[in-house]
Amino acid sequence: MKKPAISYKRHRFPQQIIAHAVWLYFRFPLSLRLAEELLLERGIVVSYETIRRWGLKFGPAYAKQLRRRRPSLQDVWHLDEVVISIAGRKHWLWRAVDQDGYVLDEIVQSRRDTKAAKRLLIRLLKKTGMPPRRIVTDKLRSYGAARRDIMPTVEHRSHKGLNNRAENSHLPLRKRERTMQGFRSAGGLQRFISIFSALRNLFVTPRHNRSALATHIHRIRAIAHWKAVTGAVA
């Protein structure tokens, strides 16, 4: 197996422990102190501050190497925005997920208007390289105005009841927000979700086959891929 491109030089702990600590923190709704306690139960004595630094240093590198789902012209994009209070100020997290709940992109913005919606659509097109078959949104008019400018030929369905997939995609982050007692800055939130969602995407099972056996196999393969990317394979 190829060695990971990520360097662990000058770190006292082996890469398996570092990767496992980062995985615990970003995969599950754990505080840094709870991640520290879980490692301690396994005989690994490491401070929560060290886990935080590992997340900052290695999290982005891990996220970049995790596999991504190939886009398709048959994809359906579900777009939604959710308000998040940061230091007493309102910000909006704009998110796009596909028909399986796979996070395509998300961006923290201070606005909830057409300009912000356009920015999300432009980023999505750059990332995927192709437009979707359809976009689904709530009744916010900014989506319609942005779609007419950026992708006028794409079908747009606007109805609150149709957009449950996007709205449900906010729930895992809401749990983390409560665990972390909020986010301190918009930049910190953007950095966190770039790692959090990349790892979460790895475990998203295809909608057409979500039997218990298929889900278990998918998770086993996801964990194996994570270990290969991080170099955590024994």
pLDDT per residue as tens digits for the range 11-27: 999 999 999 999 999 99
Within this chain, do residues 33 and 104 fall inside the same structural domain, yes or no?
A: no
CA distances from 183 to 27, 104, 173, 197 (A): 17, 22, 11, 16
103, pLDDT greater than 80: yes
Give one DSSP letter per residue of 156-206, joined into a string. Answer: EEE-GGGGHHHHHTTHHHHHHHHHTTS-S-HHHHHHHHHHHHHHHHHTPPP
87: region left, alpha or beta (phi > 0 left; psi from -120 to 50 alpha): left
Give the largest Cα separation in the chain, rounded: 58
What mean pLDDT is predicted for residues 223-233? 90
> 133 and 155: one domain?
yes
Number of domains in the chain: 2
Digit-coded pLDDT (tens) for 144-191: 999 999 999 999 999 877 767 888 889 999 999 999 889 999 999 999
Is 104 found in the same domain as 187? yes
| pLDDT tens digits for range 86-97 | 989 999 999 999
How far apart are the C-alpha atoms of 53 and 48, rounded to whole Å? Answer: 9
- 85/41 same-domain check: no
CATH number at residue 112: 3.30.420.10
User: Within a domain: residue 182?
Assistant: yes
pLDDT reported for residue 1? 45
Digit-coded pLDDT (tens) for 212-226:
999 999 999 999 999
Q: Is the same domain home to 117 and 88?
A: yes
Residues 6+ positions from 98 with CB-CB distance below 8 Å: 69, 75, 76, 77, 78, 104, 132
In a domain, 201, yes or no: no
Is 7 part of any domain?
Answer: no
Instruction: Over range 4-10, report the average pLDDT.
Output: 82
At 34-79, the pLDDT tens digits run: 999 999 999 999 999 999 999 999 999 999 999 888 888 899 999 9
* Parent domain of 56: 15-65+206-230
Query: Are 140 and 82 within 8 A, CB to CB?
Result: no
**87 and 169, same structural domain?**
yes
**Percentage with pLDDT > 90 across the chain:** 79
pTM for the whole structure: 0.89
For 68, residues 6+ apart whose C-beta sits below 8 A from its C-beta are 201
In a domain, 1, yes or no: no
